Amino acid sequence: MTVRVGVAGASGYAGGEVLRLLLGHPDVQIGALTAGASAGMTLGQYQPHLLPLADRVLGDTTVEQLSGHDVVFLALPHGKSAKIAAELGEDTLVIDCGADHRLEDPAAWQRWYGGDHAGTWPYGLPELAGQREKLKGAKRVAVPGCYPTVSSLALAPAFKDGLVEPEAVIVAVSGTSGAGKSLKPHLLGSEVMGSVSAYGVGGTHRHTPEIVQNLSKVANEKISVSFTPVLAPMPRGILATCSATLKPGKTLDDALAAYDNAYADEPFVHVLPSGSWPTTGAVLASNAVQLQVTVDPDLRRLIVVATIDNLTKGTAGAAVQCMNIALGLPETTGLSTVGVAP
């Protein structure tokens, strides 16, 4: 089975990571590569690490360029995917790496992103209960945000098993690639190096409603979330510290059993041995999720620390994983849990 794939937004970080993974996928033939302002330039000018594709010329991101592919990945800015997706044929598997089709509530989309809600697609986090079945045979997939991926996987087993009260506090430290390639003064090397800064403080980050949506669905009740993202002087990776109050009678042993049961058969999610704690370096360039669980006995608060590579499992790896599921290919094809070190 050979699948012809087009990638829109190939000059950006997410598009480049999709292409890096597709180059190692045995069932993929890479077709059209498109971009916005970079159209007409070669891919190598923006993604010099993708040597096999370096001489390919980027086309305009149009339906004409992207039609005729079995799969199209849309690695576009938020609000830009819906129009292109609506014009691609229903026989094309369209995988949106942006936010356009993640949220189920039109009012939430209006509040956090603005404009018309484009509708909701099957959500591309197969490790959440019930999601893998929804992705099988799907022709439209919404890839989760990077922060919601790590936060949801960190806390879902606790909420699913009713171990904690319906609230969570999440502080997640991320590399700068999560903000994309657009030039922004606060992301200049001289501003980032040697400095850690919080942003989106006080429940203002756009990923907050997505985290709430995911955790509320697994808990079968509304979950309140306090989410604070932190920018670290590194190019990629997320380390999230997530906590919630244990319900009366619940223990650390209950939590460990819940996490072992939830992730024992998941190829990409790994609960670390007792005493080991996740590090961003351990998952660099891999599709792995590493996490550890403990309880603060004085506060009776469950604490989960989890890490992913924001560009791989947080975006492009999830997109390829969902493509595999949707097409009936082995889920792990073209993906690895092996990181890069040092």
**Alpha-carbon dihedral 160, 164, 168, 173, rounded to 10 degrees:** -80
Nearest to 128 by CA among 98, 153, 103, 99: 153
CA torsion, ordered 213, 138, 324, 66, to nearest 10 deg: -100
Helices (runs of H) and strands (runs of E) counted in the chain: 10, 13
Tokens of 228: 């604070």
Spatial contact of 307 and 279, defined as CB atoms under 8 Å apart: yes
Are the C-beta atoms of residues 237 and 230 closer than 8 Å to each other? Answer: no
Please indicate whether residue 146 is annotated as part of the active site.
yes
For the chain, list the domains and their CATH numbers. 3-143+315-327 (3.40.50.720), 147-308 (3.30.360.10)
Write the CB contacts of 153 (distance below 8 Å, at least 6 apart in sequence): 125, 127, 128, 269, 289, 291, 306
The pLDDT profile of the chain, 342 residues, written as one tens digit per residue, is 899 999 999 999 999 999 999 999 999 999 999 999 999 999 999 999 999 999 999 999 999 999 999 999 999 998 999 999 999 999 999 999 999 999 999 999 999 999 899 999 999 999 999 999 999 999 999 999 999 999 999 999 999 999 999 999 999 999 998 877 776 777 777 788 899 999 999 999 999 999 999 999 999 999 999 999 999 999 999 999 999 999 999 999 999 999 999 999 999 999 999 999 999 999 999 999 999 999 999 999 999 999 999 999 999 999 999 999 999 999 999 999 999 998
Output phi, psi for 121, to 5 deg: -105, 165
Strands 301-308 and 238-245, how do they pair?
Answer: antiparallel
The pTM is what? 0.96
Maximum CA pair distance of the chain?
63
Residue 80 to residue 229: CA distance in whole angstroms: 24
- Backbone Cα Rg of the chain: 19
Give the pLDDT of residue 183: 65
- The residue annotated as part of the active site, out of 97, 146, 242, 322, is 146
What is the distance between the alpha carbons of residues 96 and 75, in angstroms, rounded to a whole number? 7
How far, in Å, are 18, 67, 146 from residue 24 at the CA level? 10, 23, 22
